[in-house]
Amino acid sequence: MKPAELKSSTVDELRAKEADLRKELFNLRFQQATGEIENPKRIWAVRKDIARLLTVITEKKKEGGK
């Protein structure tokens, strides 16, 4: 997920993507705890994607306030 494609989305769409990623992260952590995880690096990638989303959401809120 690249920041350029995120910036073209609305805040509501970004919030929906964030919710989906948080559910995926929960499931990955659950798989890790039970030892069933296939790709442990996916946890790292999902966390970074959530951080990118939150950064873009914050930027959009600041732009809207000007």
What does the mean pLDDT of the chain come to? 93
* d(C-alpha 57, C-alpha 40), whole Å: 27
Summarize pLDDT for 13-30 with one digit per residue, the tens: 999 999 999 999 999 999
Residue 6 vs residues 15, 19, 66: alpha-carbon distances, Å: 11, 15, 20
CATH code, 33: 1.10.287.310
Q: Whole domain around residue 13: which residue ranges?
A: 3-65
Per cent of the chain over pLDDT 90 is 80
Helices first, then strands: H and E counts in the chain: 3, 0
Q: How many domains does the chain have?
A: 1
Residue 66 clears pLDDT 60, i.e. is over it: no
More confident residue, 37 or 65: 37
